[in-house]
A and B are shown apart, each in its own frame.
Chain A
């Protein structure tokens, strides 16, 4: 390979990955798709606009952080821990799904998506929101506004957002400790 590259290691969905030689300027999304065959995080715009590509960076200080992988280099994640959409549900040793997260369960029960291309980004953004609310609960009156603000960057072309937002509200209101007062 004549393209500048260097080895990197990271933890993906709880499992160590690497060291793998990765081009210095490769985006994380390409790394996930074409090196790890984790294609659930979706390419939408390549500009960080639509947020279909987001994953969770588990930062030891800040906790869960939503990251756009189409505009973030793979090497940024070296030695870090990330969760992709494939790592949210509980799976058995074969990879079959045992249990969905409450966010995923709410999305499917609310018929929240149609084509589903943007769904991994919405799951990711919502999961980060839920984990933030666990640390910093909000007042009931602020739930809708909080959802709007947290998910505002995420683009969905099929559904008009209503069922996504309603599902998120249902998760927030049914999960103890996320809403105060």
Chain B
């Protein structure tokens, strides 16, 4: 068995850790909201009489200071745990150029020495090493050591060298204060830096046909993404060979593009620009934290962890501990509400929490970063260096070709660095059709704090650069910047830079047309003149940018279970958990849209799914791999994904919607027909021709075609008494396309559904769920992995700002955005996401910046006193406006939009500053110092 090729779940369930019971609870209970208003009403109070949410499901708990976040919980809050809790902290390396020799904890005096000091040698001796990752099973995903060994050089700044555990809280608090900026590490001789090898490189090359509709001459979708290797000089690409393998053909295509750029004549504008996008701390308000209790005698590991990826934490912890000296029989993982903007997805921090718990000598141990520690350890947004070339026909103003070379610094642990580089690469084309494109990424390692999955996932960096270039190109060509965009916009049916056609209608052109007529844009020259005349010393600018961004990933697995109890109450079980986006509220509303009511009870963040006995063991590298694995009706390419990639509305929502539809068709409709058919001649149902397509819910009652409205209570009673289906669980899979499967549904018949697994409960459910083995499955082709993207949501932003020529300060006067995201599930939540994304983008454009190395966050001295987050005064809070493009119809799916909304504002600000002072900026953040320098 090759463990390296197994998925995490396969390894855990089929390998050494088989038999370990995994249970996950969502401990923070938003149902506390139900006590408000009318407790006698069965309908949760967060839903208004019109069936729309009056507020978020979790609103009351959060506004009253209830325990909702993982960080709020202590051992005494955990059912069944000991109340005596220990607290832990790290000593962390603030150098990465010398060997760690020893610790000198004399600063703590005799009174504040830890009760337990854990060093790296002890972990190695006990067989504890960082796991290999889950979604991407890659050795070194989390590095090679938890704690730096004596005599070794830290691979990254901020890497822990020792774990200190205190049983007494006052001692812990006092010790933490004394250690905060203390120099307690004894260093040996200088060794130089020891970062790991580069993390990966890839290249996406496409040469289209004569027209966008013609077949591509070369594209990754039908060819390959080219992988690069590394030598001392950098990336090494395969040799070009037009008749060679797919990668060699790709390189031959790249040569033709390069030759075209080289030989572009005077009729072409060849614009070459270099950009830098800085390292950024996501600054989620809740710092990383966890609480772990290990029972050595029974081998039970109990944990409460702040994470966006509970499934990964549970399974990877199992794998990690199972090969150590520690006995492991069960993992009992609880999660609460949290927030991370991606940085709590596949972070190493939960595994440090597990380590702390394992060495707690039977006591629960809490490991909770303060803000200095969070800067020192929290995953960062990758710094990108971008080298772009855009070729435009001066006469037609058509984009002819684009080349982009992207280098991102992943810091000292691999994490998702190659994937971030990849996603940034495939997004670089922005909203444009490119007849020829050659984009490549290089994810390099360094001693910087590790970067990972952070809101935008590489696309903010590459698309911002493209939008700044297009703005400059328009200026050089002397054309309207939006008109140039319209000329080159990617339209429905056109291929992206991987050769794939996006799902559904692309509406970037609609956004452009609307924004082109916005008063800020049409009146920008006059506004500038008027403002500057009225405000001496101020320069006024309007900037525009538009992007569209993918949502989801190459493997999206989701499960939803819905059950109907004998009294008619609905319950929902869901694997997703809420990062603040409001997904718990929106998933409930997806059910309501199908079933006429939201569930009365709901549980989120579930990992343990006895009703869905699927395996995702095995690696899908080729189509043949997938075809062979799919023969097993209990196999899926991906069991569960984390909360990331703006995936809740579309992907997890798909599973929820299909579960609701299945319950409607398999349970409620048959029960209704049974009731309506009672009596002679088929009862009231007999004379009519009503069918399931006519189902409507009126005031919570099911009716169809003039038939008697039936309450849930009546339907449930009949369904339970007659042993009809009363519970449905579905698993869905998406790889830029949803899987489908054919099922023989008992009591219903054979049907093809857009899911890959189905489980049903009958009657009172005494026998539990019955898994329905599919008869045939249709998974997306493996080549879809190269497609990069087929789902886009679009965002356009106009920014109005003023630059103070004396101070260089930028004052945002207003901004207007236009979003295309399909149907909104809860418009208020969408609106909040837009406003929050804009604020984060403003921070990236103007305020937030981290040095990468010795002066950066790894040195332990960074906090919000010097890392400038946007405040209310920075975001044009009263003057910003947003419009959401109406959907094409009420059947448009809701699209992921949490990331795209933060991107367009970044280049829009850069373009506005240029409009204001006539100077271009190719690096973010644009600081007052840089502006003053440009003005001088």
CA distance A42 to B63 in the complex (A): 12
In the complex, whether B880 has a CB less than 8 A from a CB of chain A is yes
Q: Are A23 and B62 in contact (CB under 8 A)?
A: no
Mask, A13-31, CB within 8 Å of B = 1, is 0000000000101110010
Tell me the chain A residues, 32-47 only, with Cβ under 8 Å from chain B: 33-34, 37-47
Name the residue among A41, A52, A110, A156 with the largest chain B CB count within 10 angstroms: A156
Residue from B168, B832, B863 in contact with A111 in the complex, judged by beta carbons closer than 8 Å? B832
Tell me the chain A residues, 147-163 only, with Cβ under 8 Å from chain B: 148, 151-163
In the complex, whether A69 has a CB less than 8 A from a CB of chain B is no
Q: Determine the chain A residues whose CB is within 8 A of the CB of B286 once the complex forms.
A: 42, 115, 117
Tell me the chain A residues, 114-134 only, with Cβ under 8 Å from chain B: 114-120, 123
Q: Are B871 and A160 in contact (CB under 8 A)?
A: no
Q: Are B283 and A115 in contact (CB under 8 A)?
A: no
Q: Are B63 and A119 in contact (CB under 8 A)?
A: yes
Identify which of B198-206, B576-584, B606-614 touches chain A: B576-584
Q: Are B63 and A43 in contact (CB under 8 A)?
A: no
Q: Determine the chain A residues whose CB is within 8 A of the CB of B501 once the complex forms.
A: none
CA distance A38 to B77 in the complex (A): 11
Q: Determine the chain B residues whose CB is within 8 A of the CB of A139 once the complex forms.
A: none
Closest CB in chain B relative to A33 CB, distance in Å: 8
In the complex, whether A8 has a CB less than 8 A from a CB of chain B is no
Tell me the chain A residues, 47-93 only, with Cβ under 8 Å from chain B: 47, 49-50, 52, 84-86, 88-89
Q: Are A161 and B36 in contact (CB under 8 A)?
A: no
Tell me the chain B residues, 75-106 only, with Cβ under 8 Å from chain A: 76-77
In the complex, whether B772 has a CB less than 8 A from a CB of chain A is no
Closest to A98 in B: B35
Q: Determine the chain A residues whose CB is within 8 A of the CB of B877 once the complex forms.
A: 148, 160-162, 165
Residue from A5, A42, A107, A163 in contact with B831 in the complex, judged by beta carbons closer than 8 Å? A163
In the complex, whether A109 has a CB less than 8 A from a CB of chain B is yes
Q: Determine the chain B residues whose CB is within 8 A of the CB of A50 once the complex forms.
A: 285, 864, 869
Residue from B67, B287, B831, B871 in contact with A155 in the complex, judged by beta carbons closer than 8 Å? B871
Closest CB in chain B relative to A147 CB, distance in Å: 8
In the complex, whether A108 has a CB less than 8 A from a CB of chain B is yes
In the complex, whether B69 has a CB less than 8 A from a CB of chain A is yes
In the complex, whether A142 has a CB less than 8 A from a CB of chain B is no
Closest to B61 in A: A116
Q: Are A37 and B864 in contact (CB under 8 A)?
A: no
Closest to A115 in B: B580
In the complex, whether B837 has a CB less than 8 A from a CB of chain A is yes
Name the residue among A3, A37, A108, A152 with the largest chain B CB count within 10 angstroms: A108
Q: Determine the chain B residues whose CB is within 8 A of the CB of A100 once the complex forms.
A: 36, 60, 63-64
Closest to B843 in A: A157
Q: Are B111 and A3 in contact (CB under 8 A)?
A: yes
Q: Are A46 and B872 in contact (CB under 8 A)?
A: no
In the complex, whether B516 has a CB less than 8 A from a CB of chain A is no
Q: Determine the chain A residues whose CB is within 8 A of the CB of B69 once the complex forms.
A: 42, 117
CA distance A44 to B614 in the complex (A): 40
Q: Are B837 and A160 in contact (CB under 8 A)?
A: yes
Q: Are B35 and A96 in contact (CB under 8 A)?
A: yes
Residue from B63, B71, B337, B836 in contact with A108 in the complex, judged by beta carbons closer than 8 Å? B63
Q: Determine the chain A residues whose CB is within 8 A of the CB of B878 once the complex forms.
A: 144, 165
Q: Determine the chain A residues whose CB is within 8 A of the CB of B413 once the complex forms.
A: none
Residue from B62, B65, B168, B864 in contact with A45 in the complex, judged by beta carbons closer than 8 Å? B864
Q: Are A114 and B836 in contact (CB under 8 A)?
A: yes
* Contact A109/B63 with A43-B370, A159-B835 known, Cβ cut-off 8 Å: no
Closest CB in chain B relative to A82 CB, distance in Å: 13
Q: Determine the chain B residues whose CB is within 8 A of the CB of A45 once the complex forms.
A: 371, 863-865
Residue from A52, A96, A107 in contact with B63 in the complex, judged by beta carbons closer than 8 Å? A107
CA distance A50 to B840 in the complex (A): 16
Q: Determine the chain B residues whose CB is within 8 A of the CB of A26 once the complex forms.
A: 170, 173
Residue pairs across A and B with CB atoms within 8 Å: the count is 209
CA distance A96 to B746 in the complex (A): 45
Q: Are B582 and A1 in contact (CB under 8 A)?
A: no
CA distance A144 to B878 in the complex (A): 8
Q: Are B63 and A123 in contact (CB under 8 A)?
A: yes
Q: Determine the chain A residues whose CB is within 8 A of the CB of B56 once the complex forms.
A: 108, 111
Tell me the chain B residues, 295-349 only, with Cβ under 8 Å from chain A: 337-339, 341
Decide if the interface of chain A is mainly helix, strand, loop or mixed. loop
User: Total interface residues on B, using CB and 8 Å?
Assistant: 71
Q: Are A160 and B863 in contact (CB under 8 A)?
A: no
Residue from B67, B284, B864, B865 in contact with A39 in the complex, judged by beta carbons closer than 8 Å? B67
Closest CB in chain A relative to B65 CB, distance in Å: 2
In the complex, whether A173 has a CB less than 8 A from a CB of chain B is no
Q: Are B833 and A114 in contact (CB under 8 A)?
A: yes
* Contact A160/B839 with A40-B65, A46-B370, A111-B828 known, Cβ cut-off 8 Å: yes
Q: Are A152 and B831 in contact (CB under 8 A)?
A: no
Q: Determine the chain A residues whose CB is within 8 A of the CB of B72 once the complex forms.
A: 39-40
Closest CB in chain B relative to A64 CB, distance in Å: 17
Q: Are B60 and A155 in contact (CB under 8 A)?
A: no
Q: Determine the chain A residues whose CB is within 8 A of the CB of B832 once the complex forms.
A: 111, 113-114, 158-160, 163
Closest CB in chain A relative to B222 CB, distance in Å: 41
Q: Determine the chain B residues whose CB is within 8 A of the CB of A46 once the complex forms.
A: 370-372, 863
Q: Are B873 and A159 in contact (CB under 8 A)?
A: no
Closest to A30 in B: B173
Tell me the chain A residues, 133-181 only, with Cβ under 8 Å from chain B: 144, 148, 151-165
Closest CB in chain A relative to B845 CB, distance in Å: 14
Residue from B36, B73, B339 in contact with A115 in the complex, judged by beta carbons closer than 8 Å? B339
Residue from A104, A110, A118, A155 in contact with B864 in the complex, judged by beta carbons closer than 8 Å? A155
Q: Determine the chain B residues whose CB is within 8 A of the CB of A52 once the complex forms.
A: 285
Q: Are A115 and B837 in contact (CB under 8 A)?
A: no
Closest to A116 in B: B62
In the complex, whether B171 has a CB less than 8 A from a CB of chain A is yes
Closest to B581 in A: A114
Q: Are A161 and B371 in contact (CB under 8 A)?
A: no
Q: Determine the chain A residues whose CB is within 8 A of the CB of B371 once the complex forms.
A: 44-47
Closest to B35 in A: A96
Closest to B902 in A: A160
* Contact A161/B63 with A23-B173, A115-B285, A152-B872 known, Cβ cut-off 8 Å: no
Q: Determine the chain B residues whose CB is within 8 A of the CB of A107 once the complex forms.
A: 59, 63
CA distance A46 to B64 in the complex (A): 22
CA distance A25 to B176 in the complex (A): 12
In the complex, whether B162 has a CB less than 8 A from a CB of chain A is no
Q: Are A158 and B580 in contact (CB under 8 A)?
A: yes
Name the residue among B65, B339, B831, B878 with the largest chain A CB count within 10 angstroms: B65
Q: Determine the chain A residues whose CB is within 8 A of the CB of B438 once the complex forms.
A: none
In the complex, whether B55 has a CB less than 8 A from a CB of chain A is yes
Name the residue among A26, A42, A104, A117 with the largest chain B CB count within 10 angstroms: A117
Q: Determine the chain A residues whose CB is within 8 A of the CB of B873 once the complex forms.
A: 148, 152
Q: Determine the chain A residues whose CB is within 8 A of the CB of B71 once the complex forms.
A: 39, 42-43
* Contact A151/B65 with A45-B863, A157-B285 known, Cβ cut-off 8 Å: no
Q: Are B338 and A115 in contact (CB under 8 A)?
A: yes
CA distance A161 to B54 in the complex (A): 20
Q: Are A151 and B872 in contact (CB under 8 A)?
A: yes
Closest to B67 in A: A39
CA distance A43 to B168 in the complex (A): 20
CA distance A50 to B341 in the complex (A): 18
Q: Determine the chain A residues whose CB is within 8 A of the CB of B64 once the complex forms.
A: 40, 85-86, 88-89, 97, 100, 104
CA distance A41 to B835 in the complex (A): 24
The interface of chain B, by Cβ under 8 A from chain A, is: 32, 35-36, 54-56, 58-60, 62-69, 71-74, 76-77, 111, 168-171, 173-174, 177, 282-287, 337-339, 341, 370-372, 579-582, 828-829, 831-840, 863-865, 869, 871-873, 875, 877-878, 880
Closest 4 A-B residue pairs measured CB to CB?
Answer: A40-B65, A115-B580, A116-B62, A85-B65
Provide a sorted-by-A list of 10 A–B residue pairs whose CB atoms are within 8 angstroms: A3-B111, A3-B170, A39-B67, A41-B65, A45-B371, A88-B64, A111-B56, A156-B836, A157-B283, A162-B877
Task: Identify 13 new A-B residue pairs, CB closer than 8 A, beyond the known A97-B36, A157-B285.
Answer: A39-B74, A42-B69, A44-B371, A46-B370, A47-B371, A104-B64, A107-B63, A111-B832, A153-B871, A155-B864, A156-B285, A159-B832, A160-B835
